[in-house]
Amino acid sequence: MTSLDGAVVLITGANGGIGTELVAQALARGASKVYATARTPRSWSDERVVPLALDVTDGASVESVLRAAPDVTVLINNAGASASTGSILAQSDEEIRSNVETNLVGPLALARAYAPTLGAHGGNTAIVNIHSALSWYAVAGIYSATKAGLWSVTNSLRLELQPAGVQVLGVHVGYVDTAMAAHSADPKLDPADFVAMVFDTLEAGGIELLADDTSRRVKAGLSAPLEAVYPQLAAGA
C-alpha cells in the first residue's frame, strides 16, 4: 500500500476535471508536494502545488520533467486524448497518432523514466494509470485500442516493479462528469467521488479499480463469446 501522507505526487493532465480533483484530494490526504503537469500549466493557489509544462508525447519534455521533479513517489498517468468518432476507419491519421502517443506511449515513457527512482525507495511508491471501461470494449476505435494497450502495459509494469516494492494501480471507469464526457447522456460518476475511490484503493494496497457498474460489467464479459459482447456480430451472421 502507498500512503499519500507526505507523498510527492506527479499528475499528468492536471488542468482537466479529473486532474484538478486529483490535485485537491492528494493535498487533502497530506501530500507534501504535487507536481501539476499539463501542456500549458496553470497557476494554483496552494504553495505545495508546483506547475510544470509537460507534453507526454515528447521525449525531451518527459526528460525535462524528470530533471525538474526527481523526488516523485507517486506518478499518476491521467492525461488522455479522445477522438471525434468511434469508427476506426473514419478516424483521421492525426487522431490515431495523437491517441497512440498520448494514451499509450506517453504513460509508458513516464513510467519507464520514473521506475528507477520509485524502485530505489524500497516501498511506499506507486504508479497509477487511468484506463477506461473501453479498454475491454472496442466501440471507440483507436481510443479503445490505446486503452487496451495501456491495460497490458500496466500489467507488465506491475509484474516488473513488484519486486522493487512499487505499487501499480490500474483504474477503469465508464463516464466521469467532465468536459470530455459532455457528449454523453449515460450515467456519470462525480469527479470527486471517482478520485476518492482511486485514492482509497491506492492507500489500501489495491492493484485494480473497477470504479463503476459499466467497467465491472464490461470486464466480466471478457470470458463471454464475442457474439454476446457484440450482439451485432450474431445479428449479421
Is 28 exposed, middle or buried, given 0-12, 13-18 or 19+ CB atoms closer than 10 A?
exposed
* CB distance 18 to 195 below 8 Å: yes
Distance separating alpha carbons of residues 6 and 151, to the nearest angstrom: 28
What does the block give as the cell for 91?
478516424
Cell 456480430, residue located: 233
Backbone angles phi, psi at 45, to 5 degrees: -80, -20
Tell me the three cell numbers of residue 214.
Answer: 459499466
**What radius of gyration do the chain's Cα atoms show?**
18
**Active-site residue flag, 143:** yes
Which of 137, 147, 175, 219 is an active site residue? 147
List Cβ neighbours of 27 (8 Å cut-off, separation of 6 or more).
Answer: 34, 46, 48, 49
Active site residue 230: no
Which of 35, 114, 143, 175 is an active site residue? Answer: 143
Decide: helix, strand or coil at residue 128. strand
Supply 154's cell numbers: 500496466
Query: By the 8 A CB rule, do 1 and 203 touch?
Result: yes
Record the cell numbers describing residue 138, joined without a space.
472496442
**Residues with catalytic roles:** 143, 147
